[in-house]
Chain A
Amino acid sequence: MITLIIPAVFIGLLFHGIHRKVIARIQERPGPPIWQEILHTLKFSFKQTWIPKTASMPMYVFIVAVSIAIWTGAFYIVFSGGSLLLLFAVFMLHKITEHGLGLSSGSPYGKFGAIRSVMSAASEIPLFATIAGIYVVTGSLMISDITRYQEIHGPLLTGAFPIAIAMYIVILSKMHYGPFSIIEAKEIVSGNRTEHFGVWRAGLEVAYALKTFVLLAAFVLLFIGALPWYLMLIAMLIVLISLSFICAFTPMLSPFDAVAMQTVITGVLAVYIIILGVIG
């Protein structure tokens, strides 16, 4: 499984490129080639690199390493059939790294991004609904048990559709150029990543590629089940393209609207889970 991390990084970067391409084609632009994000990461890794005078040096550097580390850990959790609670812990750590990224640079744009990251912690709330709903339906929080459950009872995508929607919204909130991507909105330049350039940005691109790969794989495993690797990749690609469509058609929400919408969605799902738990 260790040898799969490097291919996962490249596939994640390729997915980012496909995401940009699909959005561009929907908006009637030619868009970049799909391998653009791979070139982008390599380009950053060759760019001049230093640490800004206003930055907190240890945090500025180590937050990049921590970002890569947590998604490497998440990769193992998902593919070894580990606990959903651990995956949830990774999501929480990711929030902290987003916040730390913005604060470490000392840039006002970065700090705005960091503040928005804290505000948009509501984007993690649908994950509570996913975890609770999956436990109510399958009786387990281990990914290996959940995939076994689906081999017997069929995919949770059809059996527990609202829970799948909750997880889908969590993934949507993590996608670039999406309606919930308020931490990297253009009015604050690149948000919390503004001052991370050169090698540091390349490292972040690696972390985010792993993040996209892990999130899409987790969705497929949790709601469709274990598939052969090529079908798994195709399923991940289909989920990604559907997300790209939403990102292309939906304007970026204001920070308050983003939080309100995610909270409302979670409330609706909470009602569904209560009904499922009582009646089901």
Chain B
Amino acid sequence: MNKESYLAVTIITAVILVLAAYAVSIGIEPGWLPVIVVVLTFPVFILALFLWWNASNVEGDIPFTGY
């Protein structure tokens, strides 16, 4: 994956996290649904964020993710 792809994943997961926070604030039912969404999305957000700012601007599979 390239830098733009990681950025896209970071933005998408950030939007999902914000929506989950909003869902909790308005008391959406069932209450466990936004929690499950956060548990599944937060790790992806963290890793995609780190991989995004770690990735180089040049072409290629950087960070290198496999032989």
User: Residues of A with Cβ closer than 8 Å to B?
Assistant: 1-3, 5, 45-51, 53, 57, 61, 64-69, 72-73, 76, 80, 198-199, 202-203, 206
Number of A-B contacts (CB under 8 A): 71
The answer to whether residues A199 and B42 also contact, given A64-B47, A65-B47 and a CB cut-off of 8 A, is no
Secondary structure of the A contact surface, majority rule: helix
Q: Is the CB of A45 within 8 A of B53?
A: yes
User: Residues of B with Cβ closer than 8 Å to A?
Assistant: 17, 20-21, 24, 34-35, 38-40, 42-44, 46-47, 50-51, 53-54, 63-67
Given A45-B50, A65-B43, 4 more pairs with CB closer than 8 A: A2-B20, A51-B64, A199-B50, A202-B50
B65: contacting residue among A2, A51, A66, A203, CB under 8 A: A51
Q: Is the CB of A51 within 8 A of B42?
A: no
Q: Is the CB of A76 within 8 A of B47?
A: no
CB distance from B56 to the nearest CB of A (A): 10
In the complex, what residues of A have CB within 8 A of residue B64's CB?
Answer: 49-51
In the complex, what residues of B have CB within 8 A of residue A198's CB?
Answer: 54, 63
Closest to A3 in B: B21
* A76 CA / B40 CA spacing, docked (Å): 13
B40: contacting residue among A49, A69, A80, CB under 8 A: A69
